[in-house]
Amino acid sequence: MNPTLIHYRTLGAIRPQFFRTYQQNHRLATLELVASKQILHACIPSTQEEDGQPDLGSSSWVASLAIEAIDSRYLLVGSGNGSIQLYDLDETSGEESSHIPTNTRSSGCQVLTPLGDIPNTVGHRYTVADIHWYPMDTGLFTSSSYDTTVKVWDTNTLQTACTFSLDHKVFSHAHSPLGIHSLVAATTSEPLVRLCDLRTGAFSHTLTGHNSQVICSQWSPRDPHLLCTGGADGTVRLWDVRRAAACLRTLDQHNQANDDPLAPTHVAHNASVNGLSFTQDGYQLVTVGSDRRIRLWDVTTGKHLLVNYGTKVPCSRLRKYDVVIPPLADCWPPPVFIPFSKTHEVTGWDLHSGQSLYRLQGAFRPVVCAAWRNGHEELYAGGYDQEILVWGPESHGNKALEEEQALADDWSDTD
């Protein structure tokens, strides 16, 4: 931290907003792997198929992550074998484990013990493809799986409160961050978006318009009734769930004018759309597709903003990718992070210029999911190596290693 800046802030010579902006930019600019917060997810070696990828039915690789936005304290982890774990990120009573696998970076890393564990005998039978906290209350969370179900869980008892059976593989689901309604949008391997009502435990209605599987979805942080979905047909659609003709617009990468929201010529990507995310203010949208392109859109006009994000990104087909945009109103330039399994890293870009800013490395195997911890400027990511890695500001450091190094240097000729 800049002592001169702190001095001027103490004297009131600079505005609080300027000081906050400086601090956020500095912390983001110094992101590094935080060894002291490395979380061991599982010690069970994953089985492999002939293609070298984990066996989705039996391994405990990290498939999905979610950090609640109220206190930014509790972490949910969905596994490849269908189990779910709950962690307290502020826990300080963890003990060093002597059972850490040989592929971890430090034999003395502190392992956080899960507060709760839902085994696959109780939870999902297959991969937990997506997991989310209820936006207004940490006493509730939801999960979706390739076993064709969306489950609602009581956090206190870790028991199922409700189960929605969709009869098709579920790729993702989404809550409205505004909490105005209780609808959960679920995307499946059929060309439909199903809206599940948490209040009634039944399906509200179905959105039709996609011509193939629907991979990803997200509600607008500005309009509680505006939903965005991306499908294997290459289209990104905006919906108003209150209307009978719900599809408002289909985004087009060439910005062609057409008043028909279901126009078949409008495509956002030349292949499947694998991930999308609104910015914090809800005015812009980022999408990533298996055509290996990232695109930025103006939500109000539907225009493609033609930002060049450089080299083609390694993105595979028919799997949801987490697009993480930190909710930092005072940060400039605003970053966007996407984990890529082929490069074993999380890559970050300047949202508006497309300049590459980060290549967060440290994973030994593909990284498939990521989540941002607001207020701490930390990025959590997991993947096939069964670990949850943390990147944070340089000031975090590894306190244990620093203290050990200080003691090693504190000697004299009399010792």
Residue 112 resides in a domain: yes
User: Do 170 and 182 contact (CB within 8 A), yes or no?
Assistant: no
399 found inside a domain: no
| Domain-embedded: residue 391 | no
H or E segment to which residue 236 belongs: strand 236-240
- Distance from C-alpha of 291 to C-alpha of 285, rounded to nearest angstrom: 17
Half-sphere CA count of 256, side-chain side, radius 13 A: 13
What is the CATH number for 190? Answer: 2.130.10.10
C-alpha torsion sign, points 102, 103, 108, 113: negative
Cβ–Cβ under 8 Å, residues 201 and 184: no
One digit per residue, the tens of pLDDT, for the chain of length 415 reads 677 777 777 878 888 877 777 777 788 888 899 877 768 665 444 444 334 444 444 468 999 999 999 999 999 999 999 999 999 998 865 544 444 444 444 445 567 888 899 999 999 999 999 999 999 899 999 999 999 999 999 999 999 999 999 999 999 999 999 989 999 999 999 999 999 999 999 999 999 999 999 999 999 999 999 999 999 999 999 999 999 889 999 999 999 887 788 887 899 999 999 999 999 999 999 999 999 999 999 999 999 999 999 877 877 767 899 999 998 766 778 899 999 878 889 999 999 999 999 999 988 898 999 999 988 889 999 999 888 999 998 754 444 445 445 555 555 455 5
Residue 172 resides in a domain? yes
Residue 180 belongs to domain spanning = 44-319
pLDDT, position 56: 44
Q: Dump the DSSP string for 84-99.
A: EEEEETT-----B-S-
Q: Which residues contact 50 (CB under 8 A, 6 or more apart)?
A: none
User: What pLDDT, on the 0 to 100 scale, is given for residue 173?
Assistant: 97
Name the pTM for this structure: 0.86
Give pLDDT, residue 276.
97
Residue 413, in any domain of the structure: no
User: Considering only CA atoms, which of 126, 217, 218 is closest in space to residue 168?
Assistant: 126
Residue indicated by tokens 């060439």: 254
Backbone CA torsion sign across 93, 96, 98, 100: positive
Residue 1 lies in a domain: no
Residue 111, classified by CB atoms within 10 Å of its CB into exposed (0-12), middle (13-18) or buried (19+), is middle
Cis before 326 (ω within 30): no
* Domain presence at residue 123: yes
Give me the count of residues in the chain.
415
Number of structural domains found in the chain: 1
Q: How many CB atoms lie within 10 A of CB 396?
A: 21
**The amino acid at 222:** R
Nearest to 390 by CA among 8, 19, 141, 40: 40
Residue 395 is assigned to a structural domain of this protein = no
Angle at 132 between CA 128 and CA 136, to 5 degrees: 160
3-state helix, strand, coil in the chain (%, to 5): 10, 35, 55
